[in-house]
Structure 1
Amino acid sequence: MDPQHRVLITGAGGFVGTLLVRHLEAIRGDGASSVAIYGAAEGEAFDISDSEAADRAVQAARPTAVVHLAAIAAPAEAHRSPRRAWEVNLYGAMNLAEAVLRHAPEARFINVGSSEAYGDSFLAVEGPISEAAPLQPTSVYGATKAAADLMIGQMAHERLKAVRFRPFNHTAPGQADTYVVSAFARQIAAIMAGDQEPVISVGNLDVDRDFLDARDVVRAYAAAALDPFAPTGPASVYNLASGKAWRIGDILAKLIELSGMGVEVRVDPDRLRPNLVPRAEGDARKVASDLGWRPEIAFEDTLRDVLDFWRGHG
């Protein structure tokens, strides 16, 4: 029997993609819904910046939904290789969306953007930012994500059944240590194991960021992909956020507290990034109203889980 849902995931082998595949497999396993997953098996990966490869993948999968995660996702990598970031993050999204309109025009197109697209808008807003705020990115990564977001929004006026997400910072066990929470946790785990002196070098700790557990985030992607009543179209754009900002220094302090260790924190001038937005937090009331999504995992539990992960993978 043909499965009820055929979900094509780009970036299925990445950190968030792996969590999404696991979540969809759990849905499939409980017998509540027939879900086929494409993009996660051996030989199913393809380069989205290759328009012909994207076309072939969509034609072969005949998806009922596409969750577009593939990207140059680390801001530092996008800064180092801006041309590649634009090729992947903007033109890759275009290749995929055009292929969907050609071969699977009824498929839902779940575009995963970023809160980094708001950029300077955070400076003009007190409190959590809504989806109505202008996109004013300040980084290469944010600019590529903002451009793709606007492009998919425009294509939604031309029959693309789009849902656009703007997730805020998220982490969970398994995230690379190029991201701040995982970087802190890896070093603390090494200190706990006696493999590192009890000293951590850090950059700017006096910035506030809205953090989520990535296991909560993928529930929103799955809901948008599988729920036939979830709205699509130009107005279907959603922040994924907790509405609460954590000071980066407080995250580090919490991880040190969880370790039970005495750790010296040293500021390394080479790690200080210029032009940081001092505070970024999101208003997620719209996604709660339209999709019934709210974060469920307390961030303190996320921090404990990430630290435990690195203790087992040191």
Structure 2
Amino acid sequence: MKIFISGSNGFTGKYLKKVLIEKGYDVFCGSLRCNDPNEYYFNLLDIDSMNSAFKTIGKIDFFIHLAATSFTLASDYEIELNNKIGVKNLMRVLCKFYPNYNIFSSSASVYGNAKGALSEKSSLNPTTTYAKSKLFLEQEVLISGLKSIVVRPFNYTGIFQNDNFLIPKLIKNFKEKQDLIRLGNLDIKREFNDVDDVVRIYSDFLNRADLFTEKGSVFNIGSGKAYRIGDIVDLLCEISGHKINVIRDEKLIRSNESQELRCNIEKLASIGIEPCSGNINSLLKKMLNN
């Protein structure tokens, strides 16, 4: 079975590639940086690069789209360029080569400032450029006619994630035994799931061809367990035995930021796929000890 992963050298892509190879799948990868024989130059802004990769590989059974510009690491212009124009280009290429099944990574950020445990039927109200670009992706999938699943992962992290993201930033500061750290709003609540759980769920979908539809079946990926940022800091103090002082930095507070993002896991559980564990204590210990 041929599987193609776009964004294979990104945080999630590296984990997913490893898991799928270990399971015996024939894995091909698309990235801006090619290091292995089964990796192909794959640039969402370069249609020729995508055409070339698909022509060389031949018919693809599952295409998994992870490539995107991250909210934390990029300007609004970069997000618009890659996550909108790049997605338009990608859909043109996919509709030409027509993989049998497709998984597209959206984001729970499309829910915006909704309250409570958010289900796939909750209203969508994206408030950031990144979230709006992910809703754009979902709309493109809807009109493509490709047999697809759209996943909306809630926040997740793990070893090797860039320390521009919150949890790796905290871990880095605790490992270095820094005296203080600058953070934004300590009262917002987020899920912080383990990337290992997330890629396991991606892998589980490969065994469920019945779930893929031409309008893009939507599934949340999460645990249903959200944690206050300030409580995460306190937990790290407890686990590490190191006290760190937090300075509230107004520059790090986003006016349009959702106060809570928590997943309703009922749909995922109803199809027999185990949701993320949401074991924050275990995850933080693993990252601190790495």
Superposed pair shares fold, TM > 0.5: yes
Superposed displacement of residue 148, structure 1 = 0.8
Rounded Cα–Cα distance in structure 2 between residues aligned with 1:290 and 1:19: 24
Match runs of 1:36-115 below 5 Å: 36-39=27-30, 41=36, 44-61=40-57, 62-73=59-70, 75-78=71-74, 80=75, 82-103=76-97, 105-115=98-108
Contact 1:68 1:93 in 2 (8 A): no
Match runs of 1:273-292 below 5 Å: 273-290=254-271, 292=273
Per-residue CA distance 1:234-279 (angstroms, 9 max, x = gap): 2510111111210011111111211111222222233232232211
> 2:154 maps to which residue?
168
TM-score (structure 1 length as normaliser): 0.84
Q: How many residues align?
A: 284
RMSD (CA atoms): 1.9
Superposed displacement of residue 177, structure 1 = 0.6
Per-residue CA distance 1:60-97 (angstroms, 9 max, x = gap): 22311111000001x2444x2x2331221123223223
Matched to 1:239, the amino acid is N
Contact 2:152 2:218 in 1 (8 A): yes
Contact 2:161 2:168 in 1 (8 A): yes
Match runs of 1:1-314 below 5 Å: 5-28=1-24, 34-39=25-30, 41=36, 44-61=40-57, 62-73=59-70, 75-78=71-74, 80=75, 82-103=76-97, 105-120=98-113, 122=114, 125=115, 127-155=116-144, 158=145, 160-191=146-177, 196=178, 198-234=179-215, 236-290=217-271, 292-296=273-277, 298-309=279-290
Rounded Cα–Cα distance in structure 1 between residues aligned with 2:272 and 2:44: 28
Matched to 1:285, the amino acid is E
Contact 1:9 1:38 in 2 (8 A): yes
Rounded Cα–Cα distance in structure 2 between residues aligned with 1:285 and 1:302: 23
Q: What is the DSSP-based 3-state SS (H/G/I as helix, E as strand, rest coil) of the residue aligned with 2:269?
A: helix
User: Which has the larger helix fraction?
Assistant: 1
Rounded Cα–Cα distance in structure 1 between residues aligned with 2:21 and 2:283: 22
TM-score (structure 2 length as normaliser): 0.91
Q: What is the DSSP-based 3-state SS (H/G/I as helix, E as strand, rest coil) of the residue aligned with 1:44?
A: strand
**Identity among equivalent pairs (%):** 29
Rounded Cα–Cα distance in structure 2 between residues aligned with 1:235 and 1:36: 23
Distance 1:35 1:293, change over 3 A: farther
Contact 1:171 1:214 in 2 (8 A): yes
Matched to 2:90, the amino acid is L
Matched to 2:93, the amino acid is A
Rounded Cα–Cα distance in structure 2 between residues aligned with 1:297 and 1:264: 26
Q: Which runs of 5+ in 2 are unaligned?
A: none
Matched to 2:54, the amino acid is V
Per-residue CA distance 1:124-167 (angstroms, 9 max, x = gap): x3x20111123211111011111111211222xx2x01110010
Contact 2:211 2:217 in 1 (8 A): no
Rounded Cα–Cα distance in structure 1 between residues aligned with 2:275 and 2:180: 37
Matched to 1:8, the amino acid is F
Per-residue CA distance 1:187-236 (angstroms, 9 max, x = gap): 01001xxxx3x222221111011221111111122222354344333251
Matched to 2:266, the amino acid is R
Matched to 1:26, the amino acid is E
Contact 2:191 2:224 in 1 (8 A): yes
Superposed displacement of residue 292, structure 1 = 1.6
Q: What is the DSSP-based 3-state SS (H/G/I as helix, E as strand, rest coil) of the residue aligned with 1:163?
A: strand
Distance 1:134 1:172, change over 3 A: same
Per-residue CA distance 1:15-48 (angstroms, 9 max, x = gap): 10001011112211xxxxx433333735513211
Q: What is the DSSP-based 3-state SS (H/G/I as helix, E as strand, rest coil) of the residue aligned with 1:182?
A: helix
Which range is displaced more, 50-59 or 144-153? 50-59
